[in-house]
Amino acid sequence: MISNYKLDSEDEKIISELDDLCGVVQNKEVLKDIILYIKLRKNNKLNLGNYNILIRNNSSYNLLNDLINVCSKIFLKYNIIENDRICYLDKIVNSRRDNPFDKITVLDDSIIVINDGKLKINYSDELDNLSKIINKLKNKVFIFEDTNFCEGEVDGELENLYSFRMTIDKISLDDKIMYCKKILDEYNIKYKKQDIKDYADVPFWILKNMIKKLLIECKTKNFDFVDKQILKKNKEFYSTNKIRKRNQKNNKKHEEKNAIEELNELIGLYDVKKQMDTILNYVKVNKERGQIPALHMCFTGNPGTGKTSIARVIGKIFEEENILSGKGEFVEIHGRDLVAKYVGWTAQKVHDIVEEAIGGVLFIDEAYSLVSDRRGSFEDEAIATLIKEMEDHRNEICIILAGYTEEMKKLLQLNPGFKSRIQFTINFPDYSEEELLEIFKRMCKKEKYKLSNSCEELLINDFHIAKYENNFGNGRYVRNLFEKTKFEQANRIAHSNVNAINNITKSDVENTISTISHNENKRIRIGFHN
């Protein structure tokens, strides 16, 4: 009986297909578990639910379809599904007023892919409906693609609708090296392994074009070996194109606002702007004296308070004022992006990310996610390496750690090395109700909507209530409210004969606010309020 719960050669062959795919090889163990679970369930030994999968997609490349295709082969082999056709639900939704979940019942496709971000679905509104559809359609497998900024949010929303979880990682340098070797081996082109590492150290979308050009050159000139010079020349072609595009961008700068103007035009943030002005004066004076100080910073405060916007402006200011030697590149990552999945990989990953941002700003959002309860963890390795990089490149890069105030305090206390390397700490307060209204108005103006004056009091009152919630989203909350208001406005216009399609009315805002609950996660405020 035990032999029934082993993988056969066909299973192993299907799973091995992940070896040739970038960013997904870590899911081999999950596929093995799925196969074993299918066998156990068919023998009535175990029943944990369905075969649905939540896939956390951290990559900007189209790797999801490749991963799902491998999964479908397993499901087809064991007759879990009727065909290998995949339906990406967001692609068949005709309008924002459609209920995409109701379309599932008439689909012949066996694999249904649902992306929370693309469908702009609030799962809590349609969760029961979706659950009933899944329970009814036993011959389909549902794939939930999670591209949410905060990892774990979709897991909580859909915890009862899926049984397995996979991840698609960002493509690493090792993945890109493997990609090059695989293609060159396939076409019998020899190379030196040490040359491929330098060659592959570019963004993946550039690398794919580089390899195509290289193959064409090799086949037309009958090359069966590529040396360092050939690889260098091939790579330089795309580097030259990149520089040309950058120069074209720089030529347009005189038409744009300078960074100081951008800083001053940001809504609110008066104390932050004052601190930034002091910091910039301090840095410029020290540079004239030939003593560039450490530029690393810590931003604390609730989400949506302008931390990322200020960081981007800092990068532009440093470029315009020639504070740093680079082009003001702005690299934004999540704290967890510094942690690798295997022993010994984290230090190199941190180094590579810092190298990418040299000459500009490295913005690490939710940096407190590096706090771990285990001594000697990958997170500890990431922190130790980051502190070393902050010291080694103290005059070449501005590293900004950002996150909630209390959580960031814990992070900085975790390693005393932070204290001597972070020169400036800036707290970002919540926006006032009036400032939030101004943000809403600017969003309307940017997208050419006309906001009725009767909406302003409604919005002010809603912002006043929303500000009592823990970790209030500030600008993010306004953005979410604005997007929902656009839906309500479009719905009203579609059901009436109104021609004023750019007007947002009081009823649009009222309908939007009525769908929002402010009863959870209240925070306590000391003092008096109305």
- CATH topology for the 2-168 domain: Rossmann fold (3.40.50)
Name the least confident of 202-206, 238-242, 264-268, 322-326.
238-242
Separation CA 426–CA 420 (nearest Å): 16
E-strand stretches of 36-172 = 53-57, 86-88, 111-115, 141-146, 164-168
Instruction: Quote the CA–CA distance of 296 and 397 in Å, as a whole number.
Output: 8
pLDDT higher than threshold 90 for residue 74: yes
Token representation of residue 125: 């509104």
Question: How far is Cα 365 from Cα 402, in angstroms, rounded to an integer?
Answer: 5
pLDDT by residue (tens digit) across 118-133? 665 555 567 788 888 9
Whether residue 242 is predicted with pLDDT greater than 60 in this model: the reply is: no
SS3 at position 410: helix
Are 468 and 525 spatial neighbours (Cβ–Cβ below 8 Å)? yes
Per-residue tokens: 53: 């999968």
pLDDT digits (tens, 9 = 90+) for 505-515: 888 888 888 88
d(C-alpha 293, C-alpha 296), whole Å: 9
Q: How many residues does the chain have?
A: 530
Tell whether the model's pLDDT for residue 254 goes beyond 80: no
CATH 3.30.200.20 fits 257-428, yes or no: no
Query: Does the pLDDT of residue 65 top 80, yes or no?
Result: yes
Q: What is the mean pLDDT of the chain?
A: 83
Quick one: pLDDT at residue 328? 57
The phi, psi pair for 519, rounded to 5°, reads -90, -10
* Across 135-144, 161-170, 211-220, 384-393, least confident range: 384-393
More confident residue, 96 or 471: 471
Do 173-253 and 257-428 come out as alike in CATH topology? no
Per-residue tokens: 74: 């397993």
- Residue matched to tokens 């909580």: 156
Task: Name which of 108-112, 203-207, 385-389 the model is least confident about.
Answer: 203-207
* Angle of the 346-357 helix axis to the 378-392 helix axis, nearest 10: 30
pLDDT at 256: 61
So what CATH class is 433-514? mainly alpha
Amino acid at 14: I
**Could you state, in order of their start, the residue ranges of all structural domains in the chain?**
2-168, 173-253, 257-428, 433-514
- pTM of the shown model: 0.50
| CA-to-CA separations, 260 to 59, 270, 527, in angstroms, rounded | 34, 14, 37
> Among candidates 117, 189, 195, 124, which has minimal Cα distance to 160?
124
pLDDT above 60 (res 409): yes
Residue 41: exposed, middle, or buried by beta-carbon count in 10 A (0-12, 13-18, 19+)?
Answer: middle
Tokens at residue 236, please?
Answer: 């330089």
Considering the domain delimited by 173-253, tell me its CATH architecture.
Answer: Orthogonal Bundle (1.10)
